[in-house]
Structure 1
Amino acid sequence: MQLSGVGVSPGRVAGPRVVVAADLPKPASEPVPSDLAAEAGKIGQAAAAVATALSDRARSVSGDARSVLETTAAMASDPALTASAEKLVLGRSLPAPRAVWEAAGEFMTALQAAGGYLAERARDVADVRDRIVAALLGVAPPGVPELTSPSVLVARDLAPADTAGLDPDLVLALVTEEGGPTSHTAILARALGIPAVVACAGVLGLDSPGLAVDGSAGTVAPADGTVRAPARTARPEWDGVGRLADGHRVKLLANVGSAADASAAAAAGAEGIGLFRTEFCYLSAASEPTEAEQRAAYAAVLSPFAGKPVVVRTLDAGSDKPLAFLPMGEEPNPALGVRGLRVAFDRPELLDRQLSAIAAAAAETGVELSVMAPMVATAAEAAWFADRARAAGIARVGVMIEIPAAALCAASIFEVVDFVSLGTNDLAQYVFAADRQLGAVAALNDPHQPALLRLVGMVAEAAAGKPVGVCGEAAADPSLAPVLVGLGVTSLSTNAVALAGVGAVLREVDLETCRVRSRRDLRGRARAAGLAG
Structure 2
Amino acid sequence: MATPDATPTSLSGIGVSPGLVAGPVARMAPGITEPPIELLDASSDLDKECERVAAAAQTVKKGLELSAAEAKGEGRVLLETTAQMAADPTLTSTAQAMIRERRLVPERAVWESAGTLASMLESLGGYMAERTRDVADVRDRIVAVLTDSPMPGIPRLPEPFVLVAEDLAPADTALLDPEKVVAFITSEGGPTSHTAILARALGMPAIVGTGQEVTDQLSDGDIVLVDGTKGTITIDPSEDQLRRARELANRVRVFNGDGATKDGHEVQLLANVGDAAGARTAAEAGAMGVGLFRTEFCFLDQPDEPTVEAQVKAYRGVLEAFPGKKVVVRTLDAGADKPLPFLTDATEANPALGVRAYRTTRRDPDVLDHQLEALAQAEAQTEAKVWVMAPMISTAEEAKAFTDKARTYGLQTAGMMIEVPSAALMADKMFEHADFASIGTNDLTQYVMAADRLLSSLADLSTAWQPAVLRLIQQACQGAAPHGRPVGVCGEAAADPALACVLVGLGVASLSMTSRALPDVDAVLKSVDFADCQRLAEIAVGSATADDARTAVRAELPILEELGL
TM-score, normalized by length of structure 2? 0.69
1:195-239: CA deviation from partner (whole Å, max 9, x where unpaired):
64212332576155557877566466xx8x533436133545123
The one-character-per-residue Cα deviations of 1:72-103 (angstroms, maximum 9, x if unpaired) are 9989999xx89x99xxxxxxxxxxxxxxxxxx
CA distance in 2, matches of 1:335, 1:192: 26
- Distance in 1, matches of 2:293 and 2:411, equals 16
Structure 2 unaligned blocks of 5 or more: 1-8, 36-45, 88-123, 550-565
Q: Does 1:165 align with 2:178?
A: yes
Aligned residue runs from structure 1 range 125-524, under 5 A: 142-146=153-157, 153-154=164-165, 156-157=167-168, 159=172, 164-166=177-179, 174-183=184-193, 186=196, 196-203=206-213, 206-207=216-217, 209=219, 215=228, 218=231, 225-228=235-238, 229=241, 231-232=244-245, 233=248, 235=251, 237-244=253-260, 245-318=262-335, 322-326=339-343, 328=345, 330-464=347-481, 465-524=484-543
Give yes or no for contact 1:402–1:422 (8 Å, CA) kept in 2.
yes
Deviation at 1:459, TM superposition (A): 1.2
Aligned partners of 2:187 and 2:208 also within 8 Å? yes
1:16, 1:226 within 8 Å by CA — same for their partners in 2?
no
Taking the aligned partners of 2:435 and 2:232, their CA distance within structure 1 comes to 43
Pair 503,182 (structure 1): closer, same or farther in 2 beyond 3 Å: farther
Greater alpha carbon shift after TM alignment, 152-161 vs 500-509: 152-161
Aligned amino acid, residue 420 of structure 2: I
Give the secondary-structure state (helix, strand or coil) at the position aligned to 2:26.
strand
User: Which amino acid in the other structure matches residue 499 of structure 2?
Assistant: L
Correspondences of 1:13-162 after superposition (within 5 Å): 17-21=25-29, 142-146=153-157, 153-154=164-165, 156-157=167-168, 159=172
Indicate the residue corresponding to 1:7 in structure 2.
Answer: 15
Equivalent-residue separation in structure 1 for 2:74 and 2:436 (angstroms)? 33
Alignment CA distance shift 1:296-1:138 (3 Å): farther
Counterpart of 1:202, as a letter, is Q
**In structure 2, distance between residues paired with 1:255 and 1:303:** 15
> What are the Cα deviations for residues 35-82 of structure 1, in whole angstroms up to 9, with x where unaligned?
xxxx9xx99998999799xx9xxxxxxxxxxxxx7769989999xx89
Q: Distance in 2 between matches of 1:320 and 1:174?
A: 23
Q: Alpha-carbon deviation of 1:270?
A: 2.1
Q: Say if 1:4 and 1:200, in contact at 8 Å, map to a contact too.
A: yes
On the 8 A contact 2:188/2:209 being kept in 1, the answer is yes
* Deviation for aligned residue 1:343: 1.8
Equivalenced residue count is 496
| Native 8 Å contact 1:150 1:227 kept in 2 | no
1:311-330 superposed Cα distances (whole Å, 9 cap, x missing partner): 11112235775433336485
1:450-484, Cα deviation, whole Å (9 max, x unpaired):
11111111111222132111011111222211111
Contact 1:401-1:423 within 8 A present in 2 as well: yes
Offset, 1:241: 1.1
In the aligned structure 2, how far is the partner of 1:502 from the partner of 1:7?
17
CA drift of 1:525 comes to 4.7
Which residue of the partner structure matches residue 105 of structure 1? Answer: none
Residues 157, 177 of structure 1: 8 Å contact kept: no
Worse-superposed segment, 5-14 or 175-184: 5-14
Q: Whose radius of gyration is greater, 1 or 2? A: 2
Cα distance in 2 for residues equivalent to 1:442 and 1:452 = 15
Report sequence identity in percent.
45
CA contact (8 A) 1:22 1:142 kept: no
Contact 1:71 1:264 in 2 (8 A): no
Q: Which moved more, 1:402-411 or 1:459-468?
A: 459-468
Separation of aligned partners in 2, 1:72 and 1:322: 14
Cα 1:242–1:411 shift into 2, 3 Å: farther
Counterpart amino acid of 2:254?
Answer: W
Give how far 1:194 is off. 7.0
Question: Following the alignment from structure 2 to structure 1, what is the Cα–Cα distance between the partners of residues 287 and 449?
Answer: 31
SS of 1:377's equivalent? coil
Structure 1 residue runs of 5 or longer lacking an equivalent are 56-68, 86-112
Opposite residue 480 of structure 1, the aligned amino acid is L
* C-alpha distance in 1 between matches for 2:374 and 2:404: 17
Q: CA deviation at 1:384?
A: 1.0
TM-score (norm 1): 0.73
Structure 1: distance between partners of 2:67 and 2:517? 26
Give the conservation status (yes or no) of the 8 Å contact 2:192–2:492. Answer: yes
Quote how far apart the aligned CAs of 1:162 are. Answer: 6.0
Q: CA deviation at 1:406?
A: 0.6
